[in-house]
Amino acid sequence: MKLVTFSNEGFTRIGALYPNNEIVDLNYAYQALLESEGKLRSEQIAEAYVPAAMEAFLQGGRESLSIAEKAADHAFHNRNSFRHKLIHHVENIKLEAPVQKPGKIICVGHNYREHIAEMGRELPPFPVVFAKFANTVIGPQDDIPFFPISEQLDYEAEFAFVVGQRARNVSQEEALDYVAGYTIANDVTYRDIQRRTLEWLQGKTVEGSAPMGPWLVTSDELPDPSGLNVRLTVNGEERQKTNTANFVFDVKYLVEFLSNLMTLEPGDIVLTGTPGGVGVARDPQAFLKDGDVVKIEIDKIGYLENRVSRAGEGK
């Protein structure tokens, strides 16, 4: 499935993307299915198993996903059977980041061989790990805010995975069982702020610096995250291009490594690193400007496209 978070008429809910760009509201779909089966307390049962928020839904694991799939198919073929609207066309709603309030956003640095080479570094013996926070998350239809604290706003195309169940001391052999699915992220970075101390955090955690989306492709639809092409363009000009086969540390390794450091929870997001071609490493350097359009494409997921807007000057 392609899971989405969407906003409509002041409410934010989760859905599944179907052909013809139609989105099934999963919580309402399950309520409708329960009522069709003559069940009482449909609203309460649906909120327990298929809640309207992505983070809570992911806590239900495979059981919730299985129920949601059944409910979505019922709603798709019985779209006028419920008191609430079950199906929306993507043009009539706003797509948000799939996971809006992750408990953790864990980022991996120096994880593509060509990016390590362009930065003049050696292959790391262990993953370089840093963090972003939930304040950075914006969606696929939001502008990237460009705050007047720096002129070195940079892009980083990222293949990201979302944790699907609590993971602690997980082996690589079991690792993918703990992944809910995959999405696209842009680790937007204020380079001079990042580099004014040894720690990168302050240049990575500015508001709105983690565009994500447009949806979460579940791991049953994308069982193998290796061998995926990744491409980033700015105003149509190619800046980054790689394949996830070029990882130093792949998804399986990262799940094992991170879960041995900390407990990973459903809804946690891991950004797996960026390839070569970042603006700071180009000659001459090429940072983002007001009005630039950044597009990231990843095989089997789709694309994430955001416009850069001077803070206060956007839509």
pLDDT for the residue numbered 120: 72
Cα torsion angle, 42, 44, 50, 51, sign? positive
Both tokens of residue 122? 């050696």
- CATH for the stretch 99-310: 3.90.850.10
pLDDT for the residue numbered 110: 85
Q: Is 31 helix (H, G, I), strand (E, B) or coil?
A: helix
Cα separation of the two ends of the chain: 31
CA distance 259 to 313: 41
Both tokens of residue 18? 């179907």
Alpha-helical segments (H) within 84-189: 113-118
CA distance 24 to 73: 9
pLDDT for the residue numbered 113: 78
pLDDT for the residue numbered 314: 42
Q: What is the pLDDT along the chain (315 residues), one digit of tens a residue?
A: 999 999 999 999 999 999 899 999 999 999 999 999 999 999 999 999 999 999 999 999 999 999 999 999 999 999 999 999 999 999 999 999 999 999 999 999 889 877 677 767 777 889 999 999 999 999 999 999 999 999 999 999 999 999 999 999 999 999 999 999 999 999 999 999 998 988 889 999 999 999 999 999 999 999 999 999 999 999 999 999 999 999 999 999 999 999 999 999 999 999 999 999 999 999 999 999 999 999 999 999 999 999 999 986 444
Structural element, H or E, at residue 96: strand 94-96
Count CA within 13 A, CB hemisphere, residue 289.
3
What one-letter code names the amino acid at 171? S
In this structure, the number of other CB atoms found within 10 A of the CB of residue 21 comes to: 11
CA distance 41 to 61: 22
Both tokens of residue 248? 């130093």
- Where are the chain's structural domains? 2-94, 99-310
Counting every residue written for the chain, the total comes to 315
